[in-house]
Amino acid sequence: MSVSANIWALIPIKARGQGKSRLAVTLSDAERDALVDAMLRHVVDAAADAKTVARTVLVGPSRHGMDAGIPLIDEPGSGLNDALAKALDEISNARGRPDRLIVIAADLPCVTALDLDLLAEAPHGTIAIAPDRHGTGTNALCLPLPEAAGFRFHYGTDSAARHREEAERLGLSVETILSEGLEKDIDEPSDLVDAGQVYTIKH
């Protein structure tokens, strides 16, 4: 990837109170909201520190206290895949649109700027996919534009495999990116050990 490439990061976020419901057995509503905010802030900071990322954009119903200077694309209210489709369409048609768009989950407490730079280095005409720790979910994508402007998101069960199939539909190559920072999302109570870098659970 050329050092002069224009690369943006897109981070989807849920409405306050709707995130990390599977952690309700361990954390109170207030604790879950605080964890969600802390992880989002960490991912936004990682994007800001990445050498390759020129701009960060949020998509969702609220910016969760993030800087007002970070653009927020409102979601249509019909789920993550539709929200990302809308954001991809807006970004692909924006003046000064990026050469690549990194779509990254907001619940990666171990992600670093180097992880995002690694995603950005995907070869021309290639979609980079960073799976979760189980190898089945998708924690980040790096989409070349305009080649992947018509990419259809398939977050949900077996999303990593479905996103590989989507890349094939578009005639694009796929590169799998493996790193601890990109693999470690927080979904289950057993994952909380990895959240300690950004949030302390007080029990």
SS (H, E, C) 78-121: CCHHHHHHHHHHHHHCCCCCCCEEEEECCCCCCCCHHHHHHHHC
| Block residue for tokens 């950005």 | 120
For residue 7, the model assigns a pLDDT of 97
Q: Are 93 and 142 in contact (CB under 8 A)?
A: no
Q: Is residue 157 part of a domain?
A: yes
Q: Is residue 203 part of a domain?
A: no
Distance CA 107, CA 181 (A): 11
For residue 2, the model assigns a pLDDT of 47
Q: What total of structural domains would you count in the chain?
A: 1
Determine what percent of the chain is predicted with pLDDT higher than 70: 97
Taking only the tens place, the pLDDT of each residue in 94-151 is: 989 999 999 999 999 999 999 999 999 999 999 999 999 999 999 999 999 999 999 9
Overall pTM surpassing 0.85 (yes/no): yes
CATH number at residue 179: 3.90.550.10
Taking only the tens place, the pLDDT of each residue in 34-71 is: 999 999 999 999 999 999 999 999 999 988 888 889 99
Q: Is 141 helix (H, G, I), strand (E, B) or coil?
A: strand
Q: Which domain holds residue 133?
A: 7-197
Q: Is residue 202 part of a domain?
A: no
Q: Is residue 27 part of a domain?
A: yes
Residue 161 backbone phi and psi in degrees, to 5: -65, -40
Q: Is residue 82 part of a domain?
A: yes
Q: Is residue 2 part of a domain?
A: no
Q: Is residue 69 part of a domain?
A: yes
Q: Is residue 156 part of a domain?
A: yes
Q: Are 10 and 101 in contact (CB under 8 A)?
A: yes
